[in-house]
Chains A and B, each alone.
Chain A
């Protein structure tokens, strides 16, 4: 009895409080680094493009407005680029119109639960991949400043609902020709319409949206209509990551397309 107590690891023995003293950072043998590398490259290139587009002046060629500069709220915006012809900000804002509004969709994506996952993993390596040790000595997550501010996400969601509405409006007015008459459709019209649909789908699939629609309720049965919507949003929400990527590329592509047409590098094909 005495002997077995000596040789066994008992609950009290200090050895029992130790994890396996494995030195390797990870024992994974697959290419775990590939996903973070690709994500990093994709997100970084999107940031670079967005930064360029923000200051690029060729954001309008009738009847198309580049999505990164929508809504165009300044007096410098050509009549056709404004939403219902309004320029509520006037002329005091010295920078291009994109700079004024890009914070909203930018902040929406920055605080999005999916993008948080993707950049915490690929930019901050926290963790780079599952069961791969992160390189940081200390970790407090989203418990304190600045990351606790991620909790404002739902306000960006409210703002992004407006942005989706604006992009939908811009897609609808892209069915007018250069003289403002209805009944036009070009490649640009299709691109803007597809983009508006995907941006709206991404926005509706947001986790905050799911929560606001009915996720915060405990008695679904007392709110049948909200429960129905919750079911729909949940279906979209399950594809949130996919919608995040697809809409990111459609908006980039749509924006680039309009700018290239505006610069005269690409000619918009008109169907009718």
Chain B
């Protein structure tokens, strides 16, 4: 059961380039990445694509297929019609190195800007005592495979390159939420989420959640809870008063 599919693939170095047409064989059970590999093997030996695991677990093969951010290795050809033209482009939000390969160093930069886990100074390694229910919530976030499709799709930087400076993107706002929810983390995460990492830019329109291949509920379980925590810290007079009177914040 094989057929000839029509592909349009972005070719070019740096930002310059164009969509090139290909007609290529597709066999049963194949995914988009297989077809790109077949093109490399037959018609376009210099076609650049980043990949590694072919199992949806390394986060390397992020690309845009018919305009939607997808993992090439997890997008089955059977989801397209046989006469459909399939357009494959690199992630739009990051600079292109070549063809489908983008330079995702924006994300590494943002990761470095977030202070790592900061335990209280009087608790030594080996003394942490946490119940499963205390860490369960953030375990969801640790499923992240760092494909960066959430940061790619987020309109805050996708449509407004100038916001890149101020905005860490859903991937890293989620990391801040994870650390803020950690029973043993004492670093300030709330003010810095708002002031330094741009949580306020997020308008909870949930595209990050829509594209996440790990189905992490980024918006519902990380971004909105984090926004609520920022409200506690900065915008809710009652919580502020309560903390003043009862010195409550220590007892969380």
A residues near B (Cβ < 8 Å) are: 9, 11, 13-22, 26-30, 113, 116-117, 120-121, 126-127, 130-134, 136, 138-144, 147-148, 151-154, 207-208, 210-211, 215-221, 227, 237-238, 240
Contacts and interface: CB of A to CB of B under 8 A. Distances in A.
Interface string B190-217: 0000000010111111110011000001
A142 B155 contact: no
Nearest to A237: B220
A139 B225 contact: no
Interface in B1-35: 10, 12-17
Given A126-B205, A218-B181, 4 more contacts: A11-B103, A130-B207, A147-B203, A153-B231
Given A139-B156, A154-B231, A126 B203 contact: yes
A257 B229 CA distance: 41
Nearest to B98: A9
Given A113-B204, A143-B201, A219-B252, A19 B69 contact: no
Given A130-B207, A141-B200, A220-B133, A211 B229 contact: yes
Nearest to B130: A221
Interface residues of B, number: 65
A231 B208 CA distance: 24
Given A15-B16, A130-B210, A220-B134, A20 B92 contact: yes
Nearest to A15: B14
B158 interface: yes
B118 to A, nearest CB: 13
Contact of A16 (B95, B159, B204, B224): B95
Contacts of A154: 228, 231, 236
Contacts, number: 169
16 contacts: A15-B14, A21-B16, A28-B66, A28-B68, A131-B64, A131-B69, A134-B155, A141-B202, A141-B203, A142-B201, A142-B202, A143-B198, A207-B220, A208-B228, A218-B183, A218-B252
Contacts of A138: 160
A26 B228 contact: no
A134 B157 CA distance: 11
A215 B96 contact: no
Nearest to B182: A218
B134 A211 contact: no
B228 to A, nearest CB: 4
A116 B219 CA distance: 13
B51 to A, nearest CB: 18
B252 A216 contact: yes
B67 A18 contact: no
Interface in B42-75: 64, 66-69
Contacts of A227: 133
B89 A22 contact: yes
A131 B92 contact: yes
A117 B207 CA distance: 10
B14 A13 contact: yes
B160 A131 contact: no
A18 B103 CA distance: 10
B244 interface: no
Contacts of A113: 204, 224
A1 to B, nearest CB: 19
The 3 A-B residue pairs whose C-beta atoms are closest, nearest first, are A15-B14, A18-B15, A27-B67
B67 A127 contact: no
B48 to A, nearest CB: 10
A175 B225 CA distance: 40
Contacts of A215: 225, 228
A240 B217 CA distance: 13
B94 interface: yes
Contacts of B95: 16-19
Interface string B89-130: 110111111100001000000000000000000000000001
Given A142-B202, A221-B131, A131 B158 contact: yes
